[in-house]
Structure 1
């Protein structure tokens, strides 16, 4: 096969909608996680170079950058719970669910590997070459969340479900064009501020994973990289909670917003002059549906 035809084949594959959405979720999640995990590494390894506030800002701005990277392609969910909720509420086809989640998981796993390589020397120096999951010299918590001593498994489950529910409810509010949405073009920043605010106000109890794609792939990376089976056994087998609880919490948060707020948003009556003016504008510049009429990011739409 000629090199030209190979390139054409690659281009045609990359232009397919599902492939573009997969790559968009992969890269946006990778960007978010590199910012987030890097900020955690600074807090754990850097003594005075990092802080809990820095972690929240790292993940918040990571979400903002991730949305800028891929918001116009896939919506930049970067979160399997958000994807699940959109599918469960009929806002996205279920056939896209495995595509989105696979992209998110691979992006998150790759970000964990990148973070490990970048901070490899500091990780080894911090614990004298030991890869520990618990204790004051643990480094597994750079990559995944672990329950603190004051929390039980089921209280942690409720905490994760509640915080993720708040996340999804607020995302729906921020992007609801019929309510009081963020100004066009500011959605990435506002959602990033939302993530940072959730961490600052509600993140202490369970580490606010609020995202299966944020927690499980890096945890699996640490298992492979040498931390061992303890990454799954720690905290009374805590690992499954950041996978299941966010799915439930996000779904319930979405239902709460759609049931209590969205139906009550007043509908602006359509006036004849507005209808005529819009028709004239559409006739003058038709849109074949291949691109959005506006340049806004297609995040969560109603």
Structure 2
């Protein structure tokens, strides 16, 4: 069935949404750096186990490894730390919206670093994305914060952390792109990136005895949330996305995979028993539409 890739792309967005909800309490309990370290260590171990079965891609050379390591440091050490710092402050709904700015930032870095010309539709899409985020921020009621809304005083810093996460994630994508365009095994590439990210987090995560003790003594429920976030978000989510990319147009797959903001709102409504404001729905729709214009304009 050729339409399975469509369901896989939507499944990717659903996995990212569920992962964000699982990650929320754990990121607040452990802190962004410690949470990222534990999560990415689990991801690296999981992909190492897969490679033990499938084998490492022999076509990956030393230059490729260096680029993937740099991509992992940017995408995990920096982007994930910023992302979970944002998540703890503004909650999963607004954070998932902030993540859609990865597409506009990729355009920006492509223009600044690679000299790529940006046309009218991508610029319009960028404006629509940021309009959606603005609508979501306006809809946030600081006097009626719910379990998944973040903290009352963390809006400004949470938005900055979220934008920083998107910027460093877009940098990670551009760094890894030359390697992935060669057709290397994505499992091998993901293992290198996750291992590099996890290793780069060891020092800050375990910098003090208190940090190490906090990781060793985390509750069973927190550990389960970290594990589920890793398995559902990176494991299942990335697998579905790769399947979709192999069978469907990359632009459409990227758009459908970016519908996480729309998926996460009903999820929070069900789990958190809090009905999102209508502007939040409109903002999420705007952001997804903006991403669609950007990634399908070529």
TM-score by length of 1: 0.33
Greater RCO between the two (CA within 8 Å, min separation 6)? 2
Task: Specify the structure having the higher radius of gyration (Cα).
Answer: 1
Give the TM-score of the pair, scaled to structure 2: 0.33
